[in-house]
């Protein structure tokens, strides 16, 4: 059965005490609750161990926002998948458009990152999505197809089953412009169709595909009501417990 997932991406926000307080507040808000989705928070690296220690990780999964494309060694400043796993984190967000755009993440690097994440027992939340020019040219399907074909479609079926896909149109990230429910559903159905062609219908039906891009407490319920939208990757609205909890409760 595919899972519904609401995953927060804190990006480069919150000092360690602030992040810990946010995680503890969310943990308290979910104590006794039975959400109809898995809940994940993607924190900066330095928060991972403290957050995983402070919350009930059976209720809230912890995600890193990146990992190194190398296993270990002389790569100053990098954080490996095994280091992430050792903090108690279970997920890693990979291929976010901000990393592709500002840190030169190529498909080749992402293939290494995905492989290392899987080898270390982390669940990749693999992001894809087009820029505004691509959408305006109505080339978003080809663009997203290429992004997937160059990376996660090279996985074995067994490995592909372990990943989560997040479609995040770049024009909707942090802009307050949400893709319309129809645009989001249409793209997620298209992605599920691609997965079915590549790996078969059973795997396609079991893959969790998330929408991300200005998803908030007001629009989440309508987005999540769509047959192919299995949850959200949430940036800004994950920095506030009331908003994030309202998105979780939208399921």
Is 105 an interacting residue with respect to ligand PEP (CB under 6 A)?
Answer: no
When the beta carbons of 160 and 232 are compared against ligand PEP, the nearer one is 232
In angstroms, rounded to a whole number, what is the distance separating the alpha carbons of residues 169 and 110? Answer: 18
Which string of DSSP letters, residue by residue, matches 109-131?
HHHHHHHHHHHTT-EEEEEE---
Q: Annotated catalytic residue: which of 98, 105, 130, 168?
A: 168
Q: What is the DSSP letter of 240?
A: S
The residue number with the shortest CB distance to ligand PEP is: 235
Residue among 40, 39, 48, 56 nearest 19 (CA): 48
- Residue 249's beta-bridge partner residues? none
When the beta carbons of 66 and 214 are compared against ligand PEP, the nearer one is 214
Least Cβ distance, residue 234 to ligand PEP (angstroms): 5
The stretch near ligand PEP (CB under 6 A) out of 69-77, 81-89, 133-141, 232-240 is: 232-240
In angstroms, rounded to a whole number, what is the distance separating the alpha carbons of residues 166 and 155? Answer: 17
By rule CB under 6 A, what string of x and - marks binding of each residue 159-198 to ligand PEP? ---------x----xx------------------------
Least Cβ distance, residue 95 to ligand PEP (angstroms): 11
Is 8 an interacting residue with respect to ligand PEP (CB under 6 A)?
Answer: no
**How many CA atoms lie less than 13 Å away from 25 in the CB half-sphere?**
14
When the beta carbons of 204 and 216 are compared against ligand PEP, the nearer one is 216
* Active-site residue flag, 96: yes
Least Cβ distance, residue 175 to ligand PEP (angstroms): 7
Structure tokens at 162: 């372990």
* Active-site residue flag, 168: yes
- Within 8 A by CB and 6+ apart from 90, the residues are 57, 61, 62, 63, 121, 122, 123
Catalytic residue positions, numbered: 96, 168
List interacting residues with ligand PEP (CB under 6 A).
9, 168, 173-174, 212-215, 233-237
């Amino acid at each position: 059965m595919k899972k519904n997932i609401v995953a927060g991406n804190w990006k480069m926000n919150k000092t360690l005490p602030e992040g810990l307080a946010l995680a503890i507040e969310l943990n308290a808000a979910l104590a006794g609750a039975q959400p109809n989705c898995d809940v994940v928070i993607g924190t900066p690296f330095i928060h991972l161990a403290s957050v995983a220690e402070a919350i009930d990780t059976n209720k809230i999964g912890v995600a890193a926002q990146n990992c190194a494309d190398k296993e270990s060694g002389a790569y100053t400043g990098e954080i490996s998948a095994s280091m992430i796993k050792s903090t108690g984190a279970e997920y890693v967000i990979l291929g976010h458009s901000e990393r592709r755009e500002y840190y030169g993440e190529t498909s080749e690097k992402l293939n290494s990152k995905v492989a290392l994440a899987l080898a270390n027992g982390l669940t990749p939340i693999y992001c894809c999505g087009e820029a505004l020019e691509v959408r305006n040219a109505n080339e978003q399907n080809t663009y997203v197809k290429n992004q997937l074909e160059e990376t996660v479609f090279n996985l074995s079926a067994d490995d592909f089953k372990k990943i989560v896909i997040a479609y995040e149109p770049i024009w909707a990230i942090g802009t307050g412009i949400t893709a319309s429910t129809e645009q989001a559903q249409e793209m997620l159905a298209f992605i599920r169709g691609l997965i079915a062609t590549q790996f078969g219908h059973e795997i396609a039906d079991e893959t969790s595909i998330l929408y991300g891009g200005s998803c908030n407490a007001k629009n989440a319920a309508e987005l999540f009501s769509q047959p192919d939208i299995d949850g959200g990757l949430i940036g800004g609205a994950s920095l506030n417990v009331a908003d994030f909890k309202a998105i979780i409760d939208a399921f």
